[in-house]
């Protein structure tokens, strides 16, 4: 089934570690549990992208980071080399079609991800961005579930995981691809990276090794070495999109917002605090914030789609800027900021959208509402419109908006950025702020004040309920609301407070 691993491109050192120049390089987007946990999303099925064979580099090669860019990230991976033509194979037989295993490094330039809109053509297809080698391990000699991949940056171990942590076994990946097209001799499958991938800079040395520590003889590929260097700028703005970065790309490239040196949203609400806020009216919270000098904390002009539903959660923010044709062309399509926000929202979080109070288009529709609901989001707040209003209402997730509108986003807006300080309904909202909504409206609470304000509002609600009972008994409000000293004494005697 397999061929003799004698380099067919012996004159080209890039392919010296391989049996032949690969016709196809197929890469898996996300395949390790550790990486899925780091990204906050776990795919139901494997997904893929292609890399050109011209991106292959040998061990010891230099990896260029173009001048003017900042987010070159490494991804240590296990590469599978196909041993012979493979089409429509069963899950049970798929591993028999893998000839060899080797080490790889799936370098990517996150500065170009937005331009690629999910294809990775430019961000991962650059010459030299797929180092492979230096040695091959016979696939027959190893258990595919007992391989290990490790990565070092300047001698420090930064990735260390095994194929026991895979979401999708290698056999499944091979069989899945082979049901769509023929895998040919020498084709390479890059099988995804575990947690620990991050940014490297010129001068760094990255090493990747794949081994089978429990197999007989503990076979290893040896260390695949790549040296990062600065390259001259080579982007002509008249030809295509230029590199650009935002905080979302920085967080993904570095592995987390914290690693990227970005502000980190406060931890989610404790169950006890969430319970307090769920039973506290927004009006009461507004009163307590006003007592503490905070008057500009209501998100004005937004009304609930489900007036009987309470909204409580922490903010994840999304910003739209006014529509401009050239900016919509560069930022509006593909996996844009709007889609990234709805894919990234976590359980108990509220997506808060800055739409400048512009009601002339929708800012979300039923598909995105379903995505937020599936992710466990607590709700959505937008000071713009909602498209597919009835379908969104049927999803059941609490939504506050300025009203319904049939037009698509691109009529008025360009999706611009996520997880930054925004203005919504005339109020400033930061990632991690506490958002509470009911039939009266929506309020934003600084996280450091949430517990104090909730306790004070609950105490005030109890007091107001006692006053309401006295009014219902026929007492006049003069002296009772607010309570004078006599009524205060009677309140304390009745309640023990």
Q: What is the pTM of this model?
A: 0.62
* Cβ atoms 204, 156 nearer than 8 A: no
pLDDT in the model for residue 18? 94
pLDDT in the model for residue 485? 86
Nearest-5° Cα angle at 485, 479 to 490: 90
Q: Which residues contact 435 (CB under 8 A, 6 or more apart)?
A: 311, 312, 313, 314, 315, 350, 352, 378, 379, 381, 429, 442, 443, 444, 445
Per-residue tokens: 106 = 């799936």
The domain locations on the chain are 13-254, 271-451
Helix or strand (DSSP H, E) at 122: helix 121-124
Same fold, 13-254 and 271-451: no
pLDDT in the model for residue 302? 96
pLDDT in the model for residue 2? 46
* Cβ atoms 363, 353 nearer than 8 A: yes
Q: Are strands 25-28 and 48-51 parallel, antiparallel or unpaired?
A: antiparallel
Fold of 13-254: Fumarylacetoacetate hydrolase; domain 2 (3.90.850)
12-22 core/surface letters (b: 16 or more CB in 10 A; e: else): eebbebbbbeb
Tokens 């404790």 locate to: 270
Cα separation, 196 vs 496, in Å, equals: 56
Burial of 481 (0-12, 13-18, 19+ CB in 10 A): middle
Whole-number Cα distances in Å, 473 to 26, 459, 476, 478: 77, 22, 9, 14
3-state secondary structure of 144: helix
Q: How far is CA 125 from the centre of its chain?
A: 22
Whole-number Cα distances in Å, 428 to 115, 134, 204, 216, 479: 30, 54, 41, 62, 38
pLDDT in the model for residue 8? 47
Cα separation, 222 vs 107, in Å, equals: 19
Phi, psi of 55 (to 5 degrees): -85, -5
Q: What is the DSSP letter of 360?
A: S
Superfamily of domain 271-451: Ribonuclease E inhibitor RraA/RraA-like (3.50.30.40)
> How many Cβ atoms sit within 10 Å of the Cβ of residue 209?
19
| pLDDT per residue of the chain (497 residues) written in tens, 0 to 9 | 444 555 444 468 999 999 999 999 999 999 999 998 887 778 889 999 999 999 999 999 999 999 989 999 999 999 999 999 999 999 999 999 999 999 999 999 999 987 776 789 999 999 999 999 999 999 999 999 999 999 999 999 999 999 999 999 999 999 999 999 999 999 999 999 999 999 999 999 999 999 999 999 999 999 999 999 999 877 888 888 888 888 778 888 998 878 888 766 555 788 899 999 998 999 999 999 999 999 999 999 999 999 889 999 999 999 999 999 989 988 888 788 899 899 989 889 999 999 999 999 999 999 999 999 998 999 999 999 999 999 999 999 999 999 999 999 989 999 999 989 999 999 999 999 999 999 999 999 999 999 999 999 988 888 888 888 898 989 988 888 888 888 888 888 887 77
């Amino acid at each position: 089934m397999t061929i003799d691993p004698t380099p067919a491109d012996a004159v080209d050192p890039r392919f010296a570690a391989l049996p032949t120049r690969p016709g196809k390089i197929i890469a898996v987007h996300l395949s390790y549990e550790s990486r899925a946990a780091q990204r906050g999303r776990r795919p139901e099925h494997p997904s893929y992208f292609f890399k050109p064979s011209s991106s292959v580099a040998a061990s010891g090669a230099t990896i260029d980071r173009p001048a003017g860019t900042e987010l070159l990230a490494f991804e240590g991976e296990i590469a599978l080399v196909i041993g012979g033509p493979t089409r429509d194979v069963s899950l049970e037989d798929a591993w028999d079609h893998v000839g060899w295993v080797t080490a790889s490094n799936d370098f990517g330039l996150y500065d170009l991800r937005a331009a690629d809109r999910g294809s990775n053509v430019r961000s991962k297809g650059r010459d030299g961005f797929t180092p492979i080698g230096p040695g091959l391990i016979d696939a027959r000699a190893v258990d595919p579930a007992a391989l290990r991949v490790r990565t070092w940056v300047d001698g420090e171990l930064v990735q260390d995981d095994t194929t026991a942590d895979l979401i999708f076994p290698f056999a499944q990946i091979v069989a899945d691809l082979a049901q769509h097209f023929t895998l040919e001799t020498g084709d390479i499958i890059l099988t995804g990276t575990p947690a620990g991938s991050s940014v490297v800079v010129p001068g760094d040395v990255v090493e990747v090794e794949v081994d089978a520590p429990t197999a007989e003889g503990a076979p290893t590929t040896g260390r695949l070495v790549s040296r990062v260097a600065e390259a001259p700028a080579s982007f002509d703005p008249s030809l295509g999109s230029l590199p650009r970065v935002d905080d979302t790309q920085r967080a993904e490239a570095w592995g987390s917002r914290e690693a990227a040196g970005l502000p980190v949203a406060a931890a989610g609400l404790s169950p006890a605090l969430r319970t307090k806020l769920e039973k506290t009216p927004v009006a009461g919270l507004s009163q307590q914030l006003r007592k503490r000098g905070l008057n500009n904390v209501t998100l004005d002009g937004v009304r609930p789609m489900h007036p009987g539903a309470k909204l409580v959660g922490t903010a994840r923010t999304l910003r739209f800027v006014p529509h401009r044709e050239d900016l919509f062309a560069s930022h509006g399509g593909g996996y844009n900021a709007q889609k990234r926000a709805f894919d990234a929202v976590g359980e108990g979080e509220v997506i808060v959208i800055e739409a400048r109070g512009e009601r002339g288009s929708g800012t979300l529709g039923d598909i995105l509402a379903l995505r937020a609901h599936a992710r466990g989001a607590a709700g959505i707040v937008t000071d713009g419109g909602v498209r597919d209003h009835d379908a969104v209402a049927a999803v059941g997730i609490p939504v506050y908006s300025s009203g319904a509108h049939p037009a698509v986003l691109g009529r008025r807006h360009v999706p611009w950025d996520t997880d930054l300080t925004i203005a919504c309904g005339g109020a400033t909202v930061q990632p991690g702020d506490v958002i509470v909504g009911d039939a009266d409206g929506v309020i934003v609470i600084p996280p450091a004040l949430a517990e104090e304000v909730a306790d004070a509002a609950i105490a005030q609600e109890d007091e107001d309920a006692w006053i309401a009972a006295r009014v219902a008994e026929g007492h006049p409000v003069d002296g009772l609301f607010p309570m004078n000293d006599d009524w205060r004494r009677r309140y304390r005697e009745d309640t023990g407070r």
